[in-house]
Structure 1
Amino acid sequence: MSICPTNFDEKVECPFVDRKEFIEAFDKAFQNIDLKDYSILVYYGVAGIGKTSLRKELSTLLKKHNESAFHMKIIWTSIDFATEQYRQPYKFLEVLSSQLRQKYDIKFNSFDVALATYWKKVNPHIPLVKENYSEDSIVRDVLDICNEFVPVNLIPNVLNLAKSLPELYQKWALKRKEDISRLSDLEPAEIDELLPVYWAYDLADHLQNTSESAVIFIDTYEALWEKERDIGSFNDRDKWLRKLIENIQKSCLWIICGRETLRWEEVDEDWENYLDQHKIEKLPEKDSLDLLKRCGITEEDIQKALIESSEGVPYYLELSIETYRKIKKKKQPAPEDFAKVPDGIFYRFVKYLDREEKETLKVLSVPRYWNRELFEILIEKFNTGYPVTSFSELHSFSFMDIDDKGKCSMHQLIRKSLQEYQDQYLKKKVHNFMLNYYSNQLKELDIKSITPEHETALTEAFYHAKETLEVEHLSKWFVSVSDPFYRAAFWQLITPMYEEVRQILEAELGSEHPDIATTLNNLAALYYYMGEYKKALPFYQRALETMEKVRDPEYPYVAATLNNLATLYRQIGEYEKALPFYKRALEIMEKVRGAQHPDVATTLSNLAGLYEDMGEYEKALPLYKRTLKIDEKTLSPQHPNIATTINNLAAFYARIGDYEKALPLYKRALDIREKVLGFEHPDVAQTLNNFAVFYESIGEYEKALPLYKRALDIREKVLGPQHPDVSTTLNNLAGLYIDMEEYENALTFYKRTLKID
């Protein structure tokens, strides 16, 4: 249920969403209030997430309970630490006692006497004035009789006077005689520390005498640490409240709303048995939409923009609704009117934070993630003044998140607002630092040793590069840094990044620029390797068209694009389209690079493969041999291109039935590829698959089977289960099972092949 105004002239209120889990937590805590010595229910979450709205809703439920109850009523009240004076223990207790007096006629005799004694000891020459006390205060009654309040002789007088006062005082005096008697011997500081205890005595006595239960709400709990978070122990600031709670056993439920979890178990691990803490998460999208509709925002594009940018924070929506109404008076609002985080969000987030915390959060808002090591590096590098030893304290905020692997992040809304409301020069400096930090992790990267950490480094380096590098530099940087991942077949990882680079380049440089052509070509190659030929074809065509416009027709990159486009046509079986492109590419390469260049060898090998597919074996064989001769002359013996050529030549010999020549070539190709590319590369899978085909063709099924299975494992893992190469291996495995007369297995693999195809 969302609560919001229907009158457009009313101020927008932060909505409450009746989230079942939080209401149930309250009901459960209240129902079990007598089963535990202490009951503390904590609701925590980022600023503006709806804690206060929840607190108000729970208060409404208590009102309804009292209105309908025929027997025991619930005593309840609330106090908000947003009011600075309430953060002082004596004032907190004074206000709460006043509220409970007025609402439920509860007497706070012990607290009143203790506070009056404290005040008189601190101000011995200033008389107490009875008009400063409520009519039902014991201090007023005593002053009516004694006309003076002197701690040395007052306490015995109070106890004696109680006999002439109403019966209620007599019972109290009898029960609290020893506690009151000791006050005159205490120093003011000692009495000040004991004020929560005396207050607790009074409420505990009332609850015991009436068999009633109490609920006390405390809101904006984080304000207790305003400007004093780093002074002394974190848990010293609310030590007095723990003392208060400790002296009211059973029958009292404390509901604390703040930005952080309570950490009382650091003081005494027994508190874990009594703290019930619930994090209030983002507002569900359906409720956000409902609120916007109720408040008159019906434009779908604006609804979408506000829901996405709000990150589920109701206060953001409240401010946005106010902004919408202001704009509406002058013109029709548009999504771009809400692009910036409202000022109020930023100030609400950083309220109660000290300078060092704010400066640290500004720096941390630039990276998307960090760990403890990076946290310390950033703090020292940018000299924020925050102690590096206080990592845990900073990350205890509800807007900070840390997973079980130590990966830290910040709530996206506060992150965005921090980035907007800070010095942009500092932000760019941090982006540049992070770019170098991650780029250094990618230097001289061995493609066989790429780890998830390297993948993260590339992803994060790319994020920061977009923020700090000029457009043309970004393109060249990314081609270089992503090359090891390209060669290691991490195509699914880098393809979205290439797409972003393309969009950025086209937006900044236009569609006819050499860097555009290069990016289109690389992007097409990625889609090709991933088996997405329909996506690859238009990119290759655009790359060739752009390259021919901006470069000399005989430029090597033109030939490379021709070669790639021809290979795609060959792969999809359009041999007649592929042939002229291969021939033209070969002509350019031989003219520009020379007849013995490795690029010429690559094109020769591809042309040979095309002739082989077309059944023109007599044309294919000399081209394969010429390719191998060039490769062996110009490349190292372990170069991947040599392995490719050998693999292709072995497959050719196997196709024409020359098995004696095929076998050693397959072995050599597999050896090179495993050494250079590692054991889980698609090229290794290709050789394994071809090798298995070879063994199957000569009837050695037991040798073929494990090779097929290994090839399938690699292709499914690296290329994904729907890749055409996976389908090829599945089909080959099915055929092998037919040869082995294992028809059930064959049927299974044929069905999988058909599903992919």
Structure 2
Amino acid sequence: MSVCPTDFDEKVECPFVDRKEFIEAFENAFRNIDQKNYSILVYYGVAGIGKTSLRKKLPTLLEKHNKSNQHTRVIWTSIDFATEQYRQPYKFFEILSSQLHQKYGIKFNSFDIALATYLKKINPHNPLVKENYSEDSIVRDVLDICDEFVPVNLIPNVYNLAKSLPERYQKWALKRKEDISKLPDLEPTEIYERLPVYLAHDLADHLQNTSESAVIFIDTYEALWEKERDKGSFNSRDEWFRKLIENIQKSCLWVICGKESLRWEEVDEDWKNYLDQRKIGKLPEKDALDLLKQCGIIEKDIQNILIESSEGVPYYLELSIDIYRKIKQKEQPTPGNFAKVPEGIFCRFVKYLDREEKETLKVLSVPRYWNRELFKTLIEKFNTGYPATSFSELHRFSFMDVDEEGKCSMHQLMRKSLQDYQDPDLKKEVHNFMLDFYSNQLKDLDIKAITQENENALTEAFYHAKESLEAEKLCEWFISVSDPFYRAAFWQLITPMYEEILRILESELGPQHPDVATTLNNLALLYKSTGEYEKALPLFQMALAIREKILDPQNPDIASTLNGLAELYRMMGRYDKAFPLYQKIFDIYELMLSPQHPEVAMALNDLALLYFEMGHYDKALSLYQRTLEIVEEVMGPQHQYVATVLDNLALLYSQMGCYDKALPLYQRALDINEKVLGPQHPDIATTLNNLAGLYHYMGEYEKSLQLYQRTLEIIEKSQGSQHPYFATTLNNIGGLYASMENYERSLQHYQRALDIREKVLGSQHPNVATTLNNIGLLYNNARHYEKSLPYYQRALKILEDSLGPEHPDVAVTLNNLAIFYTNIGKYEEALPLFERAVDIIDSTRLGLNYPYFLQLMSNLILASGNLVNKWSQYYSFYGIIYLYQE
């Protein structure tokens, strides 16, 4: 039997009901479109409140205007961010320009050239095919003249080239020659960032030349933040969209529909002058009544119950209208057919479905979504009696939704009603089936090739596991299936799942259960990996307290938690806390494990890293060498942990000035990691960053910059742009630009690194001092001496307090501070600082191997001037006045 009412082939198309206030706001904004530089009208409110219906209604007013005012035409188009690909700037610009070109013949010459240049730069070996461009595209015309689109040859001579093209390009080429001519010199990322500017210029040129106005409708704006809300700055997600608006002044009205109001004033308070934000609340009772009447519901008692239960949400009324028509095919609806609360209403709704329909919907209410294949599998598995060929008919109901990718879901009120009133055994059976279904997709995962489908499978499997498994089994299952994702650095994906498991375990097993300690420990490791150190610390401490209470003192699990806590303290710069924990770990391992055990090697590596950061390079070197011998012998020369030790050892050699020793170690570490982890893993970023630093030291700046940029891309994708290591790379790029004497870009990177470090690590962390020192040095080198002093002073105070007065980093800042006093002629104040810096370097036995040591002596003699004889007995270093690489 047909799922949908036989009188209706499609689901209910409800007429638009009057939203007078919001229509008037649009009409007013349109009338005053040229009164401000930018016109942005925002409609926001909860899902189902009628934003999309309003957005579909407004263009009819524009069409009416165009018919009655032929000399003041309005062009318009609409884009819905519910389509996932449109949320990407590149695709959005493509669809926007394509729609306006197809509807109104608008030319986007600058944008087309810029986009073609970008595509050619990122895929230089792939020729552009003119058949991919419209008949009147400038790129197609260029390809008709030239055999190949080569930006470096074509674009600088764009005006001359235009002479060979149709006449319509002459005016454009003359106006936009300067912008287009810059394209060959821009990096692909720079072109990508400027795409909205090129598109905006093209549209602005059209509007200016034709005296037309434009209205751009954007729907489902909140989708830009899907899965991204906690990543970085909230307003960074639509920065590209603001850039587009900023470059089209006047003559353009933007109508944006979303669940929330815009927060652009957080970026620039001036946006308040241009944003007209209108919250769409409940549908007025009069409008709700008009909707019911227009759809044939004339019984006053039924009207009253539906309006009361809908709570002013139009979509809820649409569901009620759908079911009303279904009932009326069999009998006259009565108020008794509709309960007063949503659950009751939906229970009654289900009553009037066929048995096959009801049984199918009960099964479908358990998964959160499905596609055609899973739909078929479920109805066959649970023998609902519904024909597998009637997939489309079932999904015509208003409570069903199918997106453009064929992903189906059910309205939440309907879904909840079905779950609440179905057999619990059936519900449990479907959950078990879905758990097996998704778990099978997680078997034997290659951590280098985890796909979006694998991520979705884990998310859905976890949802069903919570409904299927007891607490202890749930914990055991999740540790197993999430391990590949942890090793592949999908930390942001699994962290909220671990948080939820912790709540379940504490509730059902009690706060002192071993599984609670395990989950606390694993969650702390995740927080540590994502740079959330303050969150990780209490979890490690709680896990340690539980394990020390319930386990034998020599249990390896205690050593594991101690190691995580010690590593966290090291990363937080709290070395006094880390060192005794490492000693405690070795006491446990000495009793439990052989000296060649991998766990011992890992502990040695971590201790060496601590010595390195404390400036004890000789101790660190000995431990790294011992660690490398163990792991190569026990784990094999191609093991991923071997790469970790190689990278650490190379970094130590680099800091000691032994570049010839460091370079092959970095290259070997990189080769191993790329083979084992793939090119986008955070561990790859670590090695790339360190290798970039080495090339910087060696003066190979272009190689260094390329590696740093690749590092940033990996970190931002895997850990986010607020991670401490992202700040580290920004800091190092700042140092590189300083060496290249590009002080403006250097300061920009330093300041951004400082902002992240102070926010994430705290204002007293040694890494904050590192960036402060670098900014002070930058101002010193730029001869803004008065600006550098407070940065040096604050850096010195932080380093002395956190690392102690004898650390090499203290000597770096002392040296830079001494150079500052030398530059302003205060030699007597510089001398004791140089002396103290020399004493520190002598005590660490770095000597002539310290980077830039010889350059230091030469620069010091030049700086000392008439005190050269007095100071010639001293030697200091001028080295790290360009930057301190971490």
Q: TM-score range with shorter-chain normalisation?
A: 0.5 to 0.7
Maintained 8 Å contact 2:653/2:659: yes
Aligned twin of 1:483: 483
Task: Please show how residues 77-476 of structure 1 align to structure 2 within 5 Å.
Answer: 286-287=281-282, 313=316, 344-476=344-476
- Partner of 2:282, secondary structure, is helix
TM-score between the two structures when normalised by the length of structure 2: 0.49
Once the two structures are superposed, residues 518-538 of structure 1 have per-residue CA deviations (whole angstroms, 9 ceiling, x without a partner) of 100110111111111111111
Cα distance change on mapping 1:530 and 1:354 into 2, 3 Å = same
Measured in 2, the distance between the counterparts of 1:548 and 1:345 equals 54
Instruction: Judge conservation of contact 1:438–1:460 (CA < 8 Å) in 2.
Output: yes
Does the CA-based 8 Å contact 2:310-2:316 persist in structure 1?
Answer: no
Q: Deviations over 1:57-88 (max 9, x none)?
A: xxxxxxxxxxxxxxxxxxxxxxxxxxxxxxxx
Q: Residues 675-701 of structure 1: CA distance to partner in whole angstroms, max 9, x if unpaired?
A: 111111100000000001111112221
Whole-angstrom distance in 2 between the partners of 1:665 and 1:549? 43
Aligned to 1:612: 612
**Using the alignment, how far apart are the partners of 1:309 and 1:438 within structure 2?**
38
Q: Residues 469-489 of structure 1: CA distance to partner in whole angstroms, max 9, x if unpaired?
A: 011000010011000110111
5 Å-filtered alignment, 1:604-753, equals 604-753=604-753
Q: Which amino acid aligns with 2:688?
A: L
**Aligned in 2, Cα 1:343/1:536: closer, same or farther, shift over 3 Å?**
closer
State the shift of 1:657 in Å: 1.4
1:316, distance to aligned residue in structure 2 (A)? 11
Distance 1:617 1:371, change over 3 A: same
Question: How far apart in 2 are the matches of 1:312 and 1:526?
Answer: 40
Which residue number corresponds to residue 778 of structure 2? none
Distance 2:476 2:593 in 1: 23
Question: Which consecutive unaligned segments of at least 5 residues does structure 2 have?
Answer: 1-14, 24-47, 54-258, 260-278, 287-308, 321-339, 758-886
1:625 CA displacement:
1.1
Query: Which region of structure 1 is more displaced relative to structure 2, 644-653 or 343-352?
Result: 343-352
Q: Distance in 1 between matches of 2:21 and 2:434?
A: 40
CA distance in 1, matches of 2:21, 2:357: 30
| Aligned residue identity for 1:473 | K
Distance 1:342 1:741, change over 3 A: closer
Distance 2:605 2:719 in 1: 24
CA gap 1:734/1:488 in 2 versus in 1, 3 angstroms = same
Question: Is the CA contact 2:347–2:421 (under 8 Å) kept in the aligned structure 1?
Answer: no
Aligned-partner SS, 1:449: coil
**Number of paired residues?**
453
Say which one has the larger Rg. 1
Distance 1:394 1:315, change over 3 A: closer
Q: Which SS does the other structure have where 1:674 is aligned?
A: helix
Summarize the Cα distance change of 1:311–1:574 in structure 2 as closer, same or farther, 3 Å threshold: farther
Quote the RMSD (CA, aligned, Å): 3.1
Distance 1:727 1:411 in 2: 43
- Residue 633 of structure 1 and its aligned partner are, at CA, apart by 1.2
CA contact (8 A) 1:727 1:753 kept: yes
Residue 148 of structure 2 corresponds to which residue in structure 1? none
Give the 4+ runs in structure 1 shifted more than 6 A. Answer: 21-24, 288-291, 306-312, 314-317
Alpha-carbon distance in structure 1 between the residues aligned to 2:743 and 2:568: 35
Residue 571 of structure 2: aligned partner: 571
Partner in structure 2 of residue 100 of structure 1? none
Letter in 2 for 1:467: E
Shift of 1:638: 2.0
Partners in 2 of 1:532 and 1:525 — Cα distance?
10
Q: C-alpha deviations, 1:323-343, integer Å up to 9, x for none?
A: xxxxxxxxxxxxxxxxx9765
Per-residue CA distance 1:135-191 (angstroms, 9 max, x = gap): xxxxxxxxxxxxxxxxxxxxxxxxxxxxxxxxxxxxxxxxxxxxxxxxxxxxxxxxx
Amino acid at match of 1:636: G
Structure 1 residue 314 displacement after superposition: 6.8
CA contact (8 A) 1:428 1:467 kept: yes
1:705 is displaced (CA, Å) by 1.2
> How big is the shift at 1:747?
2.3
**2:474 alignment partner AA:** L
Question: In structure 2, what residue type is equivalent to 1:626?
Answer: R
Contact kept in structure 1, 2:49 and 2:314, CA below 8 Å: no
Give CA-to-partner distance per residue, 1:337-386, whole Å, 9 cap, x none: xxx97652233322442111110000000000101110000011001000
Q: Distance in 2 between matches of 1:554 and 1:308?
A: 62
Q: Conserved in 2, the CA contact under 8 Å of 1:712 and 1:729?
A: yes
Quick check: 2:49–2:281 contact (8 Å CA) kept in 1?
A: no
Is contact 1:517-1:546 (8 Å) kept?
Answer: yes
Q: TM-score, normalised by structure 1?
A: 0.57
Contact kept in structure 1, 2:593 and 2:600, CA below 8 Å? yes
Equivalent residue number for residue 537 of structure 1: 537
How many Å apart are 1:18 and its aligned residue? 6.7
Query: Partner residue of 1:512?
Result: 512
Amino acid in the other structure paired with 1:570: R
User: Does the 8 Å CA contact 1:609/1:648 hold for their aligned counterparts?
Assistant: yes
Structure 2 vs 1, CA of residues 555 and 610 (structure 1 numbering), >3 Å: closer, same or farther?
Answer: same
Instruction: Mark the CA change 1:589 to 1:379 in structure 2 (over 3 Å): closer, same or farther.
Output: same
Residue by residue over 1:592-630, the C-alpha shift from the partner in whole angstroms, topping out at 9 and shown as x without a partner, is 122111111111000011011111122211111111111
Q: Contact 2:448 / 2:488 at 8 angstroms: preserved in 1?
A: yes
Aligned residue type for 1:542: M
* Distance change in 2, residues 1:697/1:557 (3 Å): same
Give the C-alpha shift of residue 21 in structure 1.
8.1
Distance 2:391 2:734 in 1: 57
The Cα of 1:501 is off from its aligned counterpart by 0.3
Shift of 1:407: 0.7
- Match of 1:446, SS? coil
Q: Are the counterparts in 2 of residues 689 and 708 from structure 1 also a CA contact under 8 Å?
A: yes
1:409 aligned counterpart, secondary structure: strand
- 653-662 or 433-442, larger mean C-alpha shift: 653-662
- How far apart in 2 are the matches of 1:307 and 1:552? 60
Q: CA deviation at 1:740?
A: 1.0
CA contact (8 A) 2:49 2:283 kept: no
Distance 2:311 2:641 in 1: 48
Partner of residue 331, structure 1: none
The residue that corresponds to 2:19 in the other structure is: 20
| CA offsets 1:557-597 (integer angstroms, 9 cap, x no match) | 10011011011111111101100001111221232122111
Cα contact 2:319–2:399 (8 A) shared by 1: no
Task: Letter of the 2:565 partner, please give it.
Answer: L
State the alpha-carbon separation in 2 of the partners of residues 371 and 540 from structure 1: 42
CA distance in 2, matches of 1:689, 1:23: 53
The CA deviation at 1:714 is 0.6
Which residue matches 1:245?
Answer: none
Aligned-partner Cα distance in 2 for 1:475–1:503: 11
